[in-house]
Amino acid sequence: MSELLMCPICREALHLDGKTWQCAHRHSYDQAKQGYVNLHVVQHKHSKSPGDTPEAVAARRRFLQSGAYQPLQQAVSQLLQSISAKAVLDIGCGEGYYTQAMAEVVPQVVAVDIAKSAVQTAAKQSQQSNEDNTAQKITWVVGTGAVLPVLDQSIDVCSSLFSPLPKMEMLRVLKKQGYLIIATPAPQHLFAMREALFDEVKAHEPDKFLAQMAPEFSLVSKQIITTDLNLDQNQLKDLIAMTPYAWKAKADKRQALEAHQSFQLSASFCLFLLQKCVD
């Protein structure tokens, strides 16, 4: 595997020597026992514990491991195979559900998230996985989209699945004519749940991301993936806890929804493939 990581301080290439990543200027970053490296330096931090809480990370891991969003996971893998991706940067990788699937179809994945607890969970799970070959393909990194921790023009595909879109940084790290995969809620995503939690519900507007990414990125394809879910009470609680609705909704409405023994709703995703059209 080629070494793709960049020192967040001096922006030189990082090389792994034993259990330590080091650059030419001798900035060094130890690899944690779980197998990840923390490249989110204090200069780039805006809070002590940025990103998702450990509770949200745990809820998301339980929910996704149930297979509820497997159709999206499979669609992302198929998209990566269709463009013969070699090196992928998964921005906002979370606890690694989609990242693990990516590593089954591409040779090399750098997975980055600002939440240390999420990357710890992902890396630990990857270590424990029986798929040793898959685990070795992934480099887990705590980092920020403000300074993506990879070298200039080193990446074939950036993926951002329900995550931020640091446009200028993605342009920097992507190779010429590199690709961007975006997953975002389709208009009716989790509509029944949102109706139960809020007085007023508006349809999501996924296409607004296209205007945001133009003119440097052009649209290659768009697909809508919809799956009907019949959740038990624990799955419902986890789904609420892993979304921003957990803290946006009024407590009484959340409690009323969580009291349901089962709940039917549809998850609907927009999956975009864009291509970099500038040098």
Angle between helices 251-258 and 233-241 (to 10 degrees): 150
Is the CB of residue 13 less than 8 Å from the CB of residue 7?
Answer: yes
Q: Is 10 annotated as a binding residue?
A: yes
204 three-state secondary structure: coil
Cα separations in angstroms, 1 against 87, 152, 184, 215: 10, 17, 30, 33
Amino acid 123 reads: A
96 is in an annotated binding site: yes
Q: Does 189 count as an annotated binding residue? A: yes
Encoded tokens for 261: 């023994």
* Nearest of 107, 98, 41, 109 to residue 74 by alpha carbon: 98
- Tell me how crowded residue 203 is: count the other CB atoms within 10 A of its CB: 12
Residue whose token pair is 């009716």: 188
Residue 46 marked in a binding site? no
Distance CA 85, CA 41 (A): 29
User: Which alpha helices (H) appear in 38-180, and where do they start and end?
Assistant: 54-65, 70-82, 97-103, 116-128, 132-136, 167-173
178 is in an annotated binding site: no
For residue 197, give the H/E element and its range: helix 191-197
Q: How far is CA 31 from CA 17, 22, 36, 84, 123, in A?
A: 10, 11, 6, 30, 11
Q: Give me the count of residues in the chain.
A: 279
Contact criterion met (CB below 8 Å) for 120 and 16: no
Has 23 been labeled as part of a binding site? Answer: yes
Q: Cite the annotated binding site by residue number.
A: 7, 10, 23, 27, 69, 95-96, 189
Q: Cite the annotated binding site for Zn(2+) by residue number.
A: 7, 10, 23, 27
Q: Cite the annotated binding site for S-adenosyl-L-methionine by residue number.
A: 69, 95-96, 189
